[in-house]
Amino acid sequence: MENPFELLNQKLDKLLEMHTRMIRAIDEASSGQAVSYNRIPLNQFCKEFHISRPTVYAWGTRGLIKIEKVGGRCYVLSNSITVEKKYQRR
């Protein structure tokens, strides 16, 4: 008899794989090309753009960038960055 937790783990992996394929298919259909999501950690994004964390959250609220939370950490999706250098702190 197989371990029921192992079966559950296999089924969850299958569901996650199907979910990922569906999201990619939707993105490809809406944009016409394959989309790759590179997550940039929030701290790294702040250092590269010389901005504060509250500014990043404000930009996310305004729709200038997309912020994704995974676990307890925040990431900026690299394909969503539409901010120009004129907004950066000097």
Q: Evaluate whether 50 touches 40 at the Cβ level (below 8 Å).
A: no
Task: Give the model's pLDDT for residue 54.
Answer: 94
Average pLDDT, the chain: 79
Residue 26 above 80 pLDDT? Answer: no
Task: Give the model's pLDDT for residue 90.
Answer: 52
Instruction: State mean pLDDT over 77-90.
Output: 62
Q: Evaluate whether 46 touches 53 at the Cβ level (below 8 Å).
A: yes
CA distances from 3 to 6, 8, 12, 16, 33 (A): 5, 9, 15, 20, 41
Task: Give the model's pLDDT for residue 22.
Answer: 82
Residue 57 above 60 pLDDT? Answer: yes
pTM of this prediction? 0.51
* Residue 69: both structure tokens together: 């939370």
Tokens 């307890």 sit at which residue?
Answer: 72
Residue 8 above 80 pLDDT? Answer: yes
* Separation CA 72–CA 51 (nearest Å): 21
Task: Give the model's pLDDT for residue 84.
Answer: 56
Which DSSP symbol is given to 2?
-
Neighbours of 75 (CB within 10 A): 18
